[in-house]
Amino acid sequence: MHMKVEQPKKHHRFANFENGPRLIFWELTEGCNLKCIHCRATAQPERSPDEMSTEKAFQVIDEIADFANPLLILTGGEPLYRPDFFEIAEYATQKGLSVAMASNGTLITEDIAKKIKEAGIKRVAISFDGPSSNIHDQFRGLDGSFEKALQGARNVKNQGVQLQFNTTITSHNVDYLEDMIDLSKQYGVDALHLFMLVPVGCGVQIVESNMLSSTKYEEVLEWFYERSREVDFEIRATCAPHYYRIMRQKAKEKGERITVQSHGMAAVTKGCLAGTSVCFISHKGDVRPCGYLPLKAGSVIEQEFSDIWKDSTLFQQLRNPELIEGKCGQCEYIQVCSGCRARAFYETGNFLSEEPYCNYIPNQV
Ligand code: SF4
Ligand code: SF4
């Protein structure tokens, strides 16, 4: 049974929890054809017997659609590993939800791309770990996966479905980010999202060798501030909450105002959205703040989705910036940043402790 935590006096500026999440990431399966070395899900070649049934998935969609109007991002593992993937996507579309998917791209043949379009999927995000087969295939654990993913991207594009590239920044690819922008341009993407590595799943094993130092992250995010305003597609730093601090510092230095016109959607959102605007549903129905924070807010197998979203102690804690500890708790940027709760959890076992990969010393400390 969940204990109720007293509601925070000072809510996050960017979220209205009553209306439900804005984004739901749903890991339909842990099954996957690749063996990526940074995989969040520690993806398996076989599907798990714990996976939710098709009927249960429909019921969860009903519950979500009755309560909220989020973008539903179907993910995995590799979501196309589920034979009922298109049934689920189509059902969600019919229920009025906006549906997107995140894939490794290698299984998206012309025929599958057509089905993606027919199921009403609005955007396909394909993960690239670098702009060449050398870097990408080594990460993905399968020779030829880069070429296959590019073919998948072309097939998506040919169907007129929006295309996004996702790249997790590590020491292996940090020197190739300009090339990643070029590749994105060449493929006419609608968006490029650059993720900051979170030590979860297989990512834990590569932290020592692949995680950038906090100083290097700071440099990358400063570079990102300049580049994000020069390209003509959406480019976003994801799971790098302190980017929202850097964005404000940079704008102040230059005497710029932060508006949607000048800074895109980054102007109206905040760093970590876990539990405030975003949540994650695992393949067996566990609801978590995000895919990288392995803490359970509830289970859609046992509870209504809306009850978990509104009442879970974990979500209520994440919605109260006054509970965040260490220097993040003292920081004047807490409302726009929050620090990554998953990296804090990995480092200390306490998801409310300070973000370990931010160099900033708050004025109030
Ligand atoms: S805790 Fe927040 S910043 Fe960290 S991975 Fe999850 S959503 Fe991203
Ligand atoms: S100290 Fe924490 S809240 Fe402040 S900018 Fe860094 S990560 Fe964000």
**Closest residue CA from atom 7 of ligand 1:** 274
> At residue 177, what is the residue type?
L
The residue among 108, 109, 71, 115 whose CA lies nearest residue 90 is: 115
> How much is the pLDDT for 17?
73
Query: What is the pTM (predicted TM-score) of this model?
Result: 0.90
> How much is the pLDDT for 202?
53
> How much is the pLDDT for 167?
94
Upper half-sphere CA count for residue 220 (Cβ side, 13 Å): 28
Q: Which residues line ligand 1 (CB under 6 A)?
A: 198, 239, 241, 272-274, 278, 290, 292-293, 340-342
Phi, psi of 152 (to 5 degrees): -55, -45
> How much is the pLDDT for 145?
87
Which of 214, 252, 333 has most ligand 2 atoms within 8 Å of its beta carbon, as the pocket-test mutant?
A: 333
CA of 340 to the centre of ligand 1 (A): 5
- Residue 316 in tokens: 């209520």
* Ligand closest to the CA atom of residue 237: 1
The residue among 154, 148, 217 whose CA lies nearest residue 188 is: 154
CA of 2 to the centre of ligand 2 (A): 29
Order of strands, sheet of 162-169, starting from the edge strand that comes earlier in the sequence: 234-238, 191-196, 162-169, 123-127, 98-103, 71-75, 23-27, 278-281, 286-288, 298-299
**Closest residue CA from atom 4 of ligand 1:** 340
Q: Which residues of the chain have pLDDT under 70?
A: 1-16, 34-47, 141, 201-209, 364-365
CA of 354 to the centre of ligand 2 (A): 8
**With left for phi above 0 and alpha for psi between -120 and 50, is residue 13 left, alpha or beta?**
alpha
The residue among 146, 88, 148 whose CA lies nearest residue 115 is: 88
> How much is the pLDDT for 43?
54
Residue 231, CA distances (Å) to 74, 168, 228, 243, 318 in order: 27, 19, 6, 18, 34
User: What is the spatial distance between Cα 196 and Cα 224, in angstroms, rounded to a whole number?
Assistant: 12
The residue among 72, 79, 231 whose CA lies nearest residue 152 is: 79
User: What is the spatial distance between Cα 305 and Cα 300, in angstroms, rounded to a whole number?
Assistant: 6
> How much is the pLDDT for 106?
92
